[in-house]
Amino acid sequence: MSTETTTKDGNGKATRKAAETALAALPKPAAAHGAETSPVKTDIDIRDRTLWLCRMPYGGSRMLAAAFCSIGLDARVTPDEDARTLELGGKYTSGDECYPQRIVLGDYMKLLEDRKLDPAKTAFLLPTANGPCRFGQYIALLRRILDDQGYDDVAILSFTSADGYAGIGDQATAMIRTAWRAVLIQDILLKLLLMTRPYEVHPGRTDKVYLESLDLMAGIVARQDLTSKERLAAIKTGLRKVKEEFLAIPVRQEDRPLIGVVGEIFCRLNTFSNNELIRHIEAQGGECWLAGVGEWVWYTNAEAFRRHREERKRFTKPWLTTFVTSRIMRSDEEALYEDFRDVFGHRPEAHVDEVLECAGPYLPQWGAMGEMVLSTGGAIALYRRGADGIVDISPFTCMNGIVTEAVYPRVSRDHDHIPIRVFYFDGTQIDLERDVGIFLELAKTYKRRKKMTGA
């Protein structure tokens, strides 16, 4: 790489070219799990097993379980996490693993060791990816631990296209579309919850409506007697009812600081792993705007397009598949959100294109991967939408959190010095109340002087 070339070009194009040349010279990393190396046993039929899903978050997993039920599977969400989760997660790991992995592992082992589930009738869902961090290794770790402990009959279902969604069977396509709708429902319900709960007059009312809404929507998503078109119509009817229920909750008019919440997807969404950080912020006078699950799905789509471009595969079959998939996804998203334009009008979600554009000057998509890009871009998109502070939730030692923490001082300086803070979690006790209190004071001060008032 020529230093002269990179420094002469002010617009960064030469820097990018030099970086790409250097990257191309590196040996290609082996795929974490190709079809042949995958620890997912592809010859196991999960139709006569109970499929367990960890909580990411509870509502999202509830919806996804319902999507699996819609093709005739018995899918359930793991019970509440507790001290036993951490105990078992710690027992079977060395301490080098990420905190989310300990929780997922602990929850799954709890089912086998405490509930004594029949291994031959049990399957665990564990998503995977060939990303830049340890995530791609966890499916192999789970397989090894299960085998070592004599649970080799337990099946693992991986939510990845690497093995053609093995085990789901010939209804995979229908299931994937229903799963996407389930993700959208989860994001809508969570948004309603977070916009309403801080202002509720009767404590607990919003949580109750939220849980009832989950029941209602899970019942609709799980139905096996509907065509795709009928399911969409039934979901829309259900969501309109949900909206009415939320709008009927008595609320106070208050001017609270708006806190954007980004970070590692599991820790950000799993309330046990982040010690209910959002409730702490609400209890101390804030309102949270949390990045949902859909953002990640759109990001994987954007990454697929990037790969097609780099491999010069535009207008080939894989490119066409991604193109059609994204059109279908967009159509479902617009259909489900259209009845919420009035309530979400002042809280417009940033699309992944905007998030990537925001992250570009700090962590460009061509040079960085994964949640660090989304967290950085998401923080700026939330700043543009009038947030008064940004909280990044990360597991302790998470590679994404380490990178974003290094980038945030510059992001803050370039954006009116909006307060940004990373909260790390690893299952140990921290004085969250004190830390949240200090952060909210900074957010309130920023709110009084800020120049950016909203999108």
- Which residues contact ligand SF4 by CB under 6 A? 98, 100, 133-135, 264, 371, 395, 398-400
Minimum distance between the CB of residue 372 and ligand SF4, rounded to whole angstroms?
A: 9
Of 124 and 210, which has the nearer Cβ to ligand SF4?
Answer: 124
| Residue 163 or 371 having the CB closest to ligand SF4 | 371
Amino acid 332 reads D
Question: Cis omega before residue 57 (within 30°)?
Answer: yes
- Quick one: 178 or 394, whose CB is closer to ligand SF4? 394
- Sheet containing strand 122-125, edge to edge, reads 74-77, 50-53, 122-125, 155-157
Q: Measured from the CB atom, is 266 or 439 closer to ligand SF4?
A: 266
Angle (deg, nearest 10), helices 317-337 and 172-196: 40
Which one, 210 or 423, has the nearer CB to ligand SF4? 423
Q: How far is the CB of 89 from ligand SF4 (least distance, A)?
A: 13
Q: How far is the CB of 371 from ligand SF4 (least distance, A)?
A: 6
Min CB(402)–ligand SF4 separation in Å: 9
CB 165 within 8 A of CB 40: no
Nearer to ligand SF4, 186 or 273 (CB): 273
At its nearest, how many Å lie between ligand SF4 and the CB of residue 1?
28
CA distance 253 to 244: 19
Residue 318 token pair: 């894989």
**Closer residue to ligand SF4, CB minimum distance, 100 or 427:** 100
In the complex, the smallest distance separating the C-beta of residue 399 from ligand SF4, rounded to whole angstroms, is: 4
CB of 287 to ligand SF4, least distance (A): 26
User: What is d(CA 147, CA 346) in angstroms, rounded to the nearest whole number?
Assistant: 51
Q: How far is the CB of 134 from ligand SF4 (least distance, A)?
A: 5
The total of other beta-carbon atoms located within 10 Å of residue 82's CB is 12
Of residues 270 and 400, the one with the C-beta less far from ligand SF4: 400
Q: Extract the tokens encoding 301.
A: 């789509």
